[in-house]
Amino acid sequence: MMVLGFTGGALGGHLGGWRHRDSFPTTAMQLKCMIEMAQIAERGGLDMMFLADGNGVRQMDRPELFAANSPSDRPAVFEPVTLFAAVAQHTSRIGLVATATTSYEEPFTIARKFASLDHLSGGRAGWNLVTTQYVEDSKNFGRDEHFGREERYERARESLDVVRSLWDSWATDAFLQDKSTGRYLDPDRVRLTNHRGKHFSVKGPLNVARAPQGQPVVFMAGQSDAGKELAAYGGEGLFGTASNKAEAQAEYADIKGRMKKYGRPADSLRILPALSVLVGRTATEADALFDELQSLISPALAVSYLSKVTGVDLTGLPIDGPMPKRKGESLGGTAIGRSVLDMAARDGLSVRATYERVLPTHGGNMVKGDPVQVADMMEDWYRSKACDGFMLSMPVEPRSLRDFCELVVPELRRRGLRPSEYRGPTLRDNMGLAHPIDPFLQAPAEKAG
């Protein structure tokens, strides 16, 4: 079954989306917008709402850009796990996937937050493990510079192991709460993590009972070689960045192929490339919305945003002149940045032509048309092993999400690509992932010490 998530920023996924008349009038710290989106998506049976996150505010040194705002500047956003704890109380089925970085958060805190969210949501939590791409964030954590990629991924892998070990601290039946005997818990049903590694030192156990899913679902997003390796090692969901079908197929085969050496079956990881959907009742309606949105992007903001995406400062370059070319990994510090620079070189694009192509989708893919055209594209990718589903980006919120759920979901169901209702109460059930076995049911517990 095709897995479907959506990125839940209330500003919408298109850079001009928040200025459109059908977008939310105000979004800064508006819980009601987030609940409304989660409920629309739940009515449409989507598997998860996904929230990217960062730990810094950007563009303050460029007041005109700062004022215009671009989505990942994030000057006013809820901490995503806290937000989802609230959203969980207004929904009952949709998965809630929040981002937390292993570069600046300790594994104990991550394990605790996501295990708590899994309890509060009845088994719907997912952790999007990121290593963080913005240098600015490091300045809020006692560092003038970001960790290098190698160190970031080293920390990420160690952190993932520790988090998973902490999630296995308690047996499912550890908390007896037996009033007659006075035994609240069984001390033989808990174990320590006792981890001493290069980056972290964690004794354990976690102070949260075993989560309803056993372990919340682990997502990843990095797409460099190190990112792919980590996804093959331990990812269960992957937010993909391929910018066309052939690239997506190659990435799919590559990452699934790498899983064998870790003894993992290929279907224990769901690869979900980003897909921006512009759907109308007719193709003409979709075209009209797209043109309207493109006219709402300011060139100065577009150049600045493209600079950020590619990791190359493009300000001052002639807007109709060519894009700079990259050499090795020295330009375009992230995988998205590199794929954008490669696409510009391949297609001979100017700065303006690159941002016009990239910004509607933030570097990912876009499908535009009537519901049948949108479903055709999605079905084609899914059946040709380019993906296991999609991470949808909605250009104008809440209009685009509602349109997708009302127009495209019925078409996908008609084709047998989506279930007619949720397959189970947990995110794992709905992604078709196995529930991890409680280790206390497999082996005798280690004595707590």
Ligand X SMILES: Cc1cc2nc3c(=O)[nH]c(=O)nc-3n(C[C@H](O)[C@H](O)[C@H](O)COP(=O)(O)O)c2cc1C
3-state secondary structure of 3: strand
**Is the CB of 223 or the CB of 430 nearer to ligand X?**
223
Tokens, residue 425: 């109460």
**Is the CB of 58 or the CB of 418 nearer to ligand X?**
58
Distance between CA 355 and CA 360 in Å, rounded?
A: 8
Give Cβ neighbours of residue 27 (< 8 Å, ≥ 6 apart). 10, 11, 18, 33
**Is the CB of 51 or the CB of 206 nearer to ligand X?**
51
**Is the CB of 54 or the CB of 235 nearer to ligand X?**
54
Place of tokens 């990994």: 329
**Is the CB of 12 or the CB of 204 nearer to ligand X?**
12
Q: How far, CA to CA in Å, does 16 sit from each of 22, 67, 299? A: 12, 14, 11
What's the closest the beta carbon of residue 97 comes to ligand X, in angstroms?
11
What's the closest the beta carbon of residue 75 comes to ligand X, in angstroms?
15
What's the closest the beta carbon of residue 129 comes to ligand X, in angstroms?
8
Helix (H) or strand (E) holding 393: strand 389-393
**Is the CB of 224 or the CB of 294 nearer to ligand X?**
224
**Is the CB of 136 or the CB of 173 nearer to ligand X?**
136
| CA 323 centroid distance within chain | 28
Binding site for ligand X (CB under 6 A): 52-54, 99, 101, 130-133, 221-224, 226-227, 239, 241, 274, 334-336
What's the closest the beta carbon of residue 247 comes to ligand X, in angstroms?
13
What's the closest the beta carbon of residue 103 comes to ligand X, in angstroms?
8
What's the closest the beta carbon of residue 391 comes to ligand X, in angstroms?
8
Tokens, residue 113: 């937050």
Q: How far, CA to CA in Å, does 151 sit from each of 148, 383, 432? A: 5, 37, 33
What's the closest the beta carbon of residue 412 comes to ligand X, in angstroms?
22
Is the bond into 205 cis (omega within 30 degrees of 0)?
Answer: yes
Q: Find, among 219, 276, 273, the residue nearest to 246 by Cα.
A: 273
Q: Find, among 20, 23, 137, 16, the residue nearest to 74 by Cα.
A: 137
Give the amino acid at 134. Y
Alpha-carbon torsion angle 23, 25, 27, 28, nearest 10: 150
